[in-house]
A and B are shown apart, each in its own frame.
Chain A
Amino acid sequence: AQSVAQPEDQVNVAEGNPLTVKCTYSVSGNPYLFWYVQYPNRGLQFLLKYITGDNLVKGSYGFEAEFNKSQTSFHLKKPSALVSDSALYFCAVRLPFYNQGGKLIFGQGTELSVKP
């Protein structure tokens, strides 16, 4: 079965420090991996994706993620955190179109808190 795990409910970081939000996946076949961010009472905003190619993927707002096939991980990173990065972050894997309409399966989310 396809699944995504985010082992940390919450991550606390001081402003200016690097941040990492962890994600591991379990899929059969090629993994199509995504990161989304959600601010309170808002919809999800797409940050970045890994489909194929370079293992280091760069996305919006200075975020990047590293795809590691041997560790089945797709951790989200940022070199220098901002207070405005505080939000709920979701990792997700997308099924192929022929499998349940290409739905996204989400992790449980990680609350990122960046303190000044």
Chain B
Amino acid sequence: SQTIHQWPATLVQPVGSPLSLECTVEGTSNPNLYWYRQAAGRGLQLLFYSVGIGQISSEVPQNLSASRPQDRQFILSSKKLLLSDSGFYLCAWSVGPLRAGIPGELFFGEGSRLTVL
């Protein structure tokens, strides 16, 4: 069966410090991968998505970046955190487009809570 792991689960960082959140998926190949941010416990905003290794699409301009160095690894980074980067970050995967004619559900990790002080 497929599983998705995110770490760290919680993180407290000072303003201006770097960030690295990691997400890995097991039990599948060539997944679509997504990073979402949830602010104030409600709305979910898509930050990045990737349909393959090294292929990253950004949804909103910000000081965050994403990378996909391996097929099932998705990393969210920042060189210098801002206060506004605080939030709950969720990684998700779905079956890739080559193996699915109709889009199915996304599967989410347990999230990483980032507090920037």
Q: Which of A42, A95, A108 contacts B111 (CB 8 A)?
A: A42
Binds A, one of B12-20, B77-85, B102-110: B102-110
Query: Which residues does chain A contribute within 8 Å of B94, judged by CB atoms?
Result: 102
B interface size (C-beta, 8 A): 30
Task: Known A51-B102, A100-B49; judge A43-B109 contact (CB<8 A).
Answer: yes
Tell me if B27 counts as interface (CB < 8 A to partner A). no
Minimum Cβ distance to chain A for residue B29 (Å): 16
- Where the two chains meet, the residues of B that have a C-beta atom closer than 8 Å to any C-beta of A are 6, 32, 34, 41-44, 46, 49-51, 57, 59, 88, 90, 92, 94, 97, 100, 102-111, 113
List 7 A-B pairs, minimum CB-CB distance, nearest first.
A97-B97, A43-B108, A101-B49, A44-B108, A106-B44, A102-B103, A43-B110
